[in-house]
Structure 1
Amino acid sequence: MKVPLRIAILECDTPLDGTRAKYGGYGGVFKALLSRAADALEDPDISSKNAFEFSIYDVVNKQEYPDLENIDAVLLTGSKHNSFDDHPWILKLMDFVKMVLQQDRVRMIGVCFGHQIIGRASGVKVGRSDDGWEISVLPVQLTEKGKELFGQDTLNIHQMHRDIVFEYPKEVEKLGASPRCLVQGMYVKGKFITIQGHPEFNDEIVSEILRNRNAQGIFDDVQYKEAMDRVKNPHDGIAVAKGFLRFLLED
């Protein structure tokens, strides 16, 4: 795949007020991440100035979708919604993902909810984990393929989930695991790459979510404090995003 990469970002949720004011939406968050990753690749032919043509689609409220002929890749964002629900917009998203899986040119990136949707569309179980939430910066143990794609031996990444993909679809290469989530990433060459964590998150975004969910009673005070204690720890979002770009650029 050659630059500019025509990436359609499917927004599966709306961020909280602070994040929305700064980035406009999760599409803006991912544009910022991928632009930083393009500059960090140290490839003389690729930079944030020439690497991308972004388009953004609201698949929840407007249920908009791109024409595959006009794009090279699809990125599915995270979401507060459950990937295993059968709301009409989720079923429509599932149909779209299955359509993309059936062709061989347009590639997909899935993050958190997007990772789970791609797993579900590939025929494996997704649902609520018995082990509870993973939140804030946590370690992921990488496989050899994960180390190759992300360019490092270890990975620390922001998490914000209690839903998981329970097993790997056929032909998928494993990218990593954690004690509470054995399917932290999936890869099929030329088809898709997914990750359960949030490379696009930073301490500001996660702190806003933590405060909001603590106020709602979703996270108790102990969970909230433990997560806030880790929220500014170094994380490898750029390394993961560079892996996304390597996947899109590989022959």
Structure 2
Amino acid sequence: MKTPLRIAILECDTPPDDLVARFGKYGKVFTTLLEKAADDLGRTGFSKDDLKLSAYDVVTEQKYPSLDDVDAVLISGSKYNSFDNDAWILKLVEFTEKLLKQDRVRTIGVCFGHQILGRAAGAKVGRSDGGWEVAVLPVELTEKGKEIFQQDKLSIHQMHRDVVFEYPEGVEALGGSPRCLVQGMYQKGKLISVQGHPEFHEAFVDYLIKMRNKQGIFNDAEAQDALDRVGKHHDGVTIAKAFLRFLLDD
């Protein structure tokens, strides 16, 4: 794919105000990650200067890019349920279906975005009986996953209890975990997704855990278990580099 690489980031949520003040909205959070990954990619003649990133609020403003003006669309995570039928979610699913029906613009899904991709491709999405996955956890990679991420093991920040229950037709499995069998999806030249959050980091997730503990979403034991893992090594940049390779490779 030629450069500049034009990526539209669909913001499916807004972080809490304190996190926005420190790290920006999700468009900025992903920009920080992708620029770091671009500079670390090691491709001759490619760096963060070859990225052209834009952000679209698809919840409140419900704005979307023209597909003629972008090379890729990244669908962000969200506190909302991917299986709900709110007007903005249905509009997002419809847009994602449109993406999947064409062959030029490629799609990246992260957490909620991974689930929206699954839903648009006809897979069942919903609440997992296994409960929450939170903070840094391992993902067992398939052979395709090892090829895509270029390593044998993967650790990633998690913040979800909703899952894609099955792989859509024509989609390859990248990995799974005991509580979530569909941790990553791949279709050459069309889509790549992960259930976890490569854009998250220790300070961001630490804040979310403590906030959700105060809200009663996580009890004290659950919160402490997650906090014990929040500072562990995670492969966010490795995953983002895989995203960029997916977009650049013919």
Question: Is this a same-fold pair by TM over 0.5?
Answer: yes
Quick check: 1:61 aligned with 2:57? no
Aligned-partner Cα distance in 1 for 2:231–2:71: 34
1:233 match: secondary structure: coil
1:147 match: secondary structure: helix
Quick check: 1:127 aligned with 2:121? no
Q: Deviating runs (4+, > 4 A) in structure 1?
A: none
1:82 match: secondary structure: coil
Give 1:18 shift.
2.6
Give 1:174 shift.
0.5
8 Å contact kept, 1:16–1:208: no
Aligned-partner Cα distance in 2 for 1:42–1:211: 37
Aligned-partner Cα distance in 2 for 1:200–1:133: 19
Give 1:54 shift.
0.9
Aligned-partner Cα distance in 2 for 1:96–1:21: 30
Aligned-partner Cα distance in 1 for 2:50–2:143: 28
Give 1:45 shift.
1.1
2:2 match: secondary structure: coil
Partner in structure 2 of residue 104 of structure 1: 103
Per-residue Cα deviation, 1:69-114 (whole angstroms, up to 9, x for no partner): 0000000000000000000000000110001111000000000000
Give 1:145 shift.
1.0
Ranges in structure 2 where 5+ consecutive residues have no aligned partner = none
Matches within 5 A, 1:1-251: 1-48=1-48, 50-251=49-250
8 Å contact kept, 1:185–1:195: yes
Bigger shift: 73-82 or 9-18? 9-18
Give 1:151 shift.
1.2
- Would you say how many aligned residue pairs link Structure 1 and Structure 2? 250
2:19 match: secondary structure: helix
Give TM-score, length-normalised by structure 1: 0.98
Ranges in structure 1 where 5+ consecutive residues have no aligned partner = none
RMSD: 0.6
Aligned-partner Cα distance in 1 for 2:127–2:74: 23
Taking only the aligned residue pairs, the percentage that are identical comes to 63
Give 1:43 shift.
1.3
Give 1:68 shift.
0.4
Give 1:44 shift.
2.1
Per-residue Cα deviation, 1:32-55 (whole angstroms, up to 9, x for no partner): 00000011111121111x221111
Aligned-partner Cα distance in 1 for 2:185–2:165: 12
Give TM-score, length-normalised by structure 2: 0.99
Aligned-partner Cα distance in 2 for 1:51–1:136: 31
1:99 match: secondary structure: helix
Per-residue Cα deviation, 1:190-231 (whole angstroms, up to 9, x for no partner): 110000000000001101110110000000000000000000
Return the letter of the residue paired with 2:118. Answer: G
